[in-house]
Structure 1
Amino acid sequence: MPDTNIDFPYGIKNMSLSKDELAKAFAKPVIILLGEKDNEPNHKILRHTQLADAQGLNRFDRGNKFFYEAKAKALELGVTFNWNLITVPGVGHDDLGMAAAAAKLIAESSKPSIL
């Protein structure tokens, strides 16, 4: 999270990130792709610590929180925010489902525009 009050890996406190570096990161075109059903709070490889759970009790919630915290940080810094959040309907913690959604986005972005 782009939270300067919390140490890495849950925040960016004590990291040597300047406002300019954050601005460059927020200005890059980034797509955060989340599976709508990646909401299992007891998944065997989902970390549960006090700091992790404060970010959400499942991956879907954590991903949303990350996106909106980044957006808020960019607004606070007064810098461009060029990230997008896309939710993939019906997909949980599934490599193939997410890869198919990502491939579709890549294919759509490489189609020539018709004027």
Structure 2
Amino acid sequence: MTPFTEDVVRVLKSIPEGIVVTYGQVARLAGSPRAARQVVRILHSMSEKHNLPWHRVVNARGEINVPGEEAKAEQRRRLREEGVSFTEDGRVDWNKITQKADQPKKG
């Protein structure tokens, strides 16, 4: 694995349940802000092997952007199970994600 790939995997594994990020945010946190497409490639090729929470990553518009209707339905189902809300037009409701992230952690 390249250092960037290792950093992307680390960032992805750190995304808490119920939180959604964009491909660009992952790239920026991994040290290469212009590498969102690389994040997509890494997710596609390594999610299963590294048990990555691929479903917690969406495009910059808050849209589910995985190929295939079955995969889109699975991502939406997983996110809803984690308490993620969607707007009427099917995008992640960023306002509710932000509120959830700002709440203190239990424990």
Give the TM-score, by structure 2 length: 0.32
**More RCO (CA 8 Å, sep 6+):** 1
Give the TM-score, by structure 1 length: 0.31
Q: Looking at secondary structure, tell me which structure has more helix per residue.
A: 2
Larger radius of gyration: 1
